[in-house]
Amino acid sequence: MLSIFFTEYAEFLHCKGRKFTDFDEVRQEIEVETDRITGVNKGISSIPINLRIYSPHVLSLTLIDLPGITKVPVGDQPPDIEVQIRDMIMQFIARENCLILAVTPANTDLANSDALKLAKEVDPQGLRTIGVITKLDLMDEGTDAREILENKLLPLRRGYIGVVNRSQKDIDGKKDIKAALLAERKFFLSHPAYRHMADRMGTPYLQKVLNQQLTNHIRDTLPAFRSKLQSQLLSIEHEVEVYKNFRPEDPTRKTKALLQMVQQFSVDFEKRIEGSGDQVDTLELSGGAKINRIFHERFPFELVKMEFNEKELRREISYAIKNIHGIRTGLFTPDMAFEAIVKKQIVKLKGPCLKSVDLVMQELINTVKKCTKKLATYPRLCEETERIVAGYIREREEKTKDQVLLLIDIQVSYINTNHEDFIGFANAQQRSSQVNKSAVGNQVIRKGWLTINNIGIMKGGSKEYWFVLTAESLSWYKDDEEKEKKYMLPLDNLKVRDVEKSFMSSKHIFALFNTEQRNVYKDYRFLELACDSQEEVDSWKASLLRAGVYPDKSSTENDENGQADNFSMDPQLERQVETIRNLVDSYMSIINKCIRDLIPKTIMHLMINNVKEFINAELLAHLYSSEDQNTLMEESAEQAQRRDEMLRMYQALKEALAIIGDISTSTVSTPAPPPVDDSWLQQTLLASAAPSLPVSLGIPPENLAVI
């Protein structure tokens, strides 16, 4: 980037806003700031003094003027002054994007130059090091630096450039830079040892070399830099495309935006519920997938958790029979006892049914919250949309619950003992409560990885196996190839229960155990299986349920009435209890099947489909009536700022790519000079006879400045 200044002035970072046009004042300010930072007794500091000079006569480079190596501390300098200065110098010249000007006076021994020695350490190939020889006019009479400047003696890959600076006498006499440059030019043209190479000597030539190196560096970094800019441009192009059409003065803008936002919200909600092939989320389940799990895994499991407590159920049946007979001794099994018990069990189903409605309602609200994130550009619209839709979902929740309760009440109102699947009194005597697994056969119900938790602890660590669940057994293998079977566990008399998650474990655990107090696996009474999430546990428990492995119900019976647990039963009453028990089991199986089918359909019709229709047909009208459109579509300050920043960035990237295109075609880079034999630098480890001054010039491609 080329900057042209018609007046010369300077600015210090510590004096922001103040322009120095008198460079004597600049010199004085440097001295004052140095004394302020380091003290007046020759102290040192790594804190830089930042000075920016604006002039048509200088290059767009940043120069870091580093101190020479000091061997012996003086004044307030610390004892390790040499180490501190060396570390300070290395901090700058070690950067790969720096050019190093190794400055050495001509009247000292070049072989002992600290500047060249330090440069060699960080730039062994010599690609970044340029030798600068000063004080050529102060050499002893009869001596010159011709062979050094011709790069014959002690050569460097980039050679040496000689300069003649102002002396202290010239500075005190206020000799200006222009006069100093003319005097330098005259010196090289008139000196017999240097006149043949005068065009390659002097401060102007040094500027030219540095400018050429800057150009070379820019060209070398352009391909990678262009690729980076193009990637950035592509990454923001889609977002900027929307912003480019932004017209704040358009009176219809807010109306169009509102329509687009509501339409987008409706599409997103439908996709999350109904499923979609495009933009599939692979990190988590969508709202629709979670609702599906509620319908087909969580809800059936909650129903089975309401399974009768056998001892309590038999006691209730016996009480019902006795209470119906009263003081008489009954000869026949009373069907009124059956109806009383069945109705009581049906009423218990209200809990799981209402819970499933709550779970679906929560998933719908969570889905709405995720969909409204795209409306964050307009905070009020986002809040109102979420409030209106969530409020409507809760309205539908109440109506759905009313309908669910009505379905349960309908089942209670009439006990249909003529149902084709009901076993009836004739077959009830010999029927048991076995799960009908014969119809299922030994088909595979589920496969997946599980960790055996309790066995692994005893053997030094939990271990993961590949489990296969069928209608008759649970087997586990070494891996999913199912070649090496570790064990097969029959499902007879098994139940499942939850295990409390330990403080140190991230796993979720459930356990299998035998209802007859037998060992489940080898010497273990129970088998603890661990999953990564509670959802996975619920899914496995639902699969076990399909295989006939029911959840355990902890007995919470009261022991206050001892005779309630230990009442004696005559053989006739015992047969009647067994008959009604089998009838209840048969009828409740019919009811469960019916409820499992009807409740998801009811929720789908009264909640999910209704909410979708509301969003499509009525949401926009509710938004118009809820608040003023201008307030509703008021853009957030963060979004306005982001839009401006993205548009500025987009424009800057396009301009940068255009400039790079111009540089690529208009600049010519010079190749690096061939390597030279600079082994003399490696052999020279002696300290310099006089302080030397390495100066580093860095070229970061980001802003084309030199550091």
The stretch 157-184 carries a mean pLDDT of 88
Phi, psi of 248 (to 5 degrees): -65, -25
Residues 518 and 475 in one domain: yes
Both 480 and 517 in a single domain?
Answer: yes
Q: What angle do CA 525, 528, 529 make, to 5 degrees?
A: 145
Cα separations in angstroms, 107 against 75, 683, 690: 27, 21, 10
- Tell me the residue length of the chain: 707
Contacts of 577 (CB under 8 A, 6+ apart): 314, 317, 318, 321, 569
Name which of 580, 560, 601, 594 is nearest 344 in CA terms.
580
Q: Please check whether residues 586 and 541 belong to one and the same domain.
A: no
- Mean pLDDT in residue range 576-597: 83
pLDDT at 707 over 50: no
Looking at the predicted structure, is the pLDDT value of residue 232 above 50? Answer: yes
Secondary structure class of 355 (helix, strand, coil): helix
Q: Are residues 496 and 475 in the same domain?
A: yes
Q: Name the percent of the chain lying above pLDDT 90.
A: 19
Within-domain flag for 380: yes
- Domain presence at residue 224: no
Q: Is residue 384 part of a domain?
A: yes
Sheet of strand 494-499: strand arrangement: 485-490, 473-477, 463-470, 444-452, 526-531, 508-514, 494-499, 550-551
From 610, 632, 654, the end of a domain falls on: 632
Query: pTM of the predicted model, to two decimals?
Result: 0.53
Q: Are residues 358 and 284 in the same domain?
A: yes
Tokens of 616: 């499509």
Q: Is the domain of 428 the same as that of 531?
A: no
Q: Per the structure block, which two tokens stand in for 91? A: 């901090």
Instruction: Look at residue 191 and tell me if it is in a domain.
Output: no
- The predicted-structure confidence for 377-413, as pLDDT tens digits, reads as follows 788 888 889 999 999 999 999 999 999 999 999 999 9
Contact 54, 5 (CB under 8 A): yes
Q: Which CATH number characterizes residue 528's domain?
A: 2.30.29.30
Position 613 scores a pLDDT of 94
Mean pLDDT of the chain: 79
- In a domain, residue 517? The reply is yes
pLDDT digit string, tens, across residues 136-170 = 998 888 889 999 999 988 888 889 999 999 888 88
Answer whether residue 241 is part of any domain: no
Range 552-580 average pLDDT: 55
Among 577, 609, 632, the domain boundary falls at 632
**Listed residues 580, 614, 632: the one ending a domain:** 632
Above 70 in pLDDT, residue 368? yes
Task: Please compute the mean of the pLDDT values over residues 160-186 and round it to a whole number.
Answer: 88
Sign for the pseudo-dihedral over CA of 513, 518, 520, 524 = positive
273 shares its domain with 391: yes
The structural domain count of the chain equals 3
334 and 411 in a single domain? The answer is yes
* Residues 349, 280 share a domain: yes
pLDDT value for 175? 85
Answer whether residue 451 is part of any domain.
yes
Domain of 44 in residue numbering reads as 1-58
CATH of the domain at 314: 1.20.120.1240
Residue 80 in any domain: the answer is no
Q: In this predicted model, which residue has the larger pLDDT, 307 or 182?
A: 182
What was the pLDDT predicted at 664?
61
